[in-house]
């Protein structure tokens, strides 16, 4: 009976230890992902397209979904405008590098979920240019860990006029 109890206590201790280690690793991963977000912000604000591009997997895309108001404005300019625009991370990095304007993406309500290999990150954003909000919405990053560090596989975001973030679909 004592050996059964001892075995059960050892097994329980092992389970608790494994759970604590997993929780610690998840905390470490979350901090690393938050660091990627901070480097992203600094690269955009500092017009450092090379650093920005290094945060992405090669060939990564940005997917922009226009709300009704933005879509109507796009169609008024170009009759066959699309609601969903797909762009390359490389092109965004080029824009950041060549822009003369002050750029400041602001992220809030950040939620990170990870199993250590993949991580969706969801947050609200406002993209400021020369101190003025130009674009706002919700954004999600899909990150992957290839064994060395976290990389952004894709970014998808909605586009609202600033102040219209809560507009219904």
pLDDT at position 122 over 90: yes
Q: How confident is the model at residue 1 (pLDDT cuts 50, 70, 90)?
A: low
165, two tokens: 């973030």
Identify which has the larger pLDDT, 7 or 66.
Answer: 66
Looking at CATH, the fold of the domain delimited by 2-159 is given as Nuclear Transport Factor 2; Chain: A, (3.10.450)
pLDDT at position 130 over 80: yes
CA distances from 51 to 77, 89, 128 (A): 34, 12, 20
Convert the pLDDT of each residue in 26-73 to its tens digit. 678 899 999 999 999 999 999 999 999 999 999 999 999 999 999 999
The length of the chain is 169
Q: Which ranges of the chain does DSSP label H, i.e. alpha helix? A: 2-45, 49-54, 68-77, 89-98
Convert the pLDDT of each residue in 87-107 to its tens digit. 999 999 999 999 999 999 999
- pTM comes to 0.81
Give the pLDDT score at 14. Answer: 47
Is residue 103 within 8 Å of residue 96, measured between CB atoms? yes
pLDDT, averaged across the chain:
88
Give the pLDDT score at 146. Answer: 87
Give the pLDDT score at 162. Answer: 82
Question: In whole angstroms, what is the distance from residue 60 CA to residue 53 CA?
Answer: 9
Which has the closest alpha carbon to 99: 20, 164, 46?
46
Domain ranges of the chain: 2-159
């Amino acid at each position: 009976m004592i050996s059964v109890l001892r075995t059960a206590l050892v097994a329980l201790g092992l389970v608790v230890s494994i759970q604590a280690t997993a929780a610690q690793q998840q905390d470490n991963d979350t901090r690393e992902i938050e660091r990627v977000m901070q480097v992203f912000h600094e690269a955009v604000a500092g017009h450092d397209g090379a650093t920005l591009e290094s945060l992405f997997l090669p060939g990564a895309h940005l997917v922009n979904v226009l709300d009704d108001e933005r879509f109507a404005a796009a169609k008024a300019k170009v009759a066959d405008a699309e609601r969903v625009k797909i762009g390359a991370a490389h092109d965004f990095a080029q824009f950041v590098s060549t822009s003369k304007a002050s750029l400041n993406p602001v992220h809030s309500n950040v939620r990170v979920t990870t199993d250590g290999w993949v991580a969706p990150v969801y947050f609200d954003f406002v993209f400021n240019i020369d101190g003025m909000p130009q674009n706002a919405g919700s954004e999600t990053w899909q990150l992957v860990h290839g064994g060395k560090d976290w990389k952004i596989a894709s970014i998808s975001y909605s586009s609202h006029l600033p102040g219209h973030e809560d507009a219904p679909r």
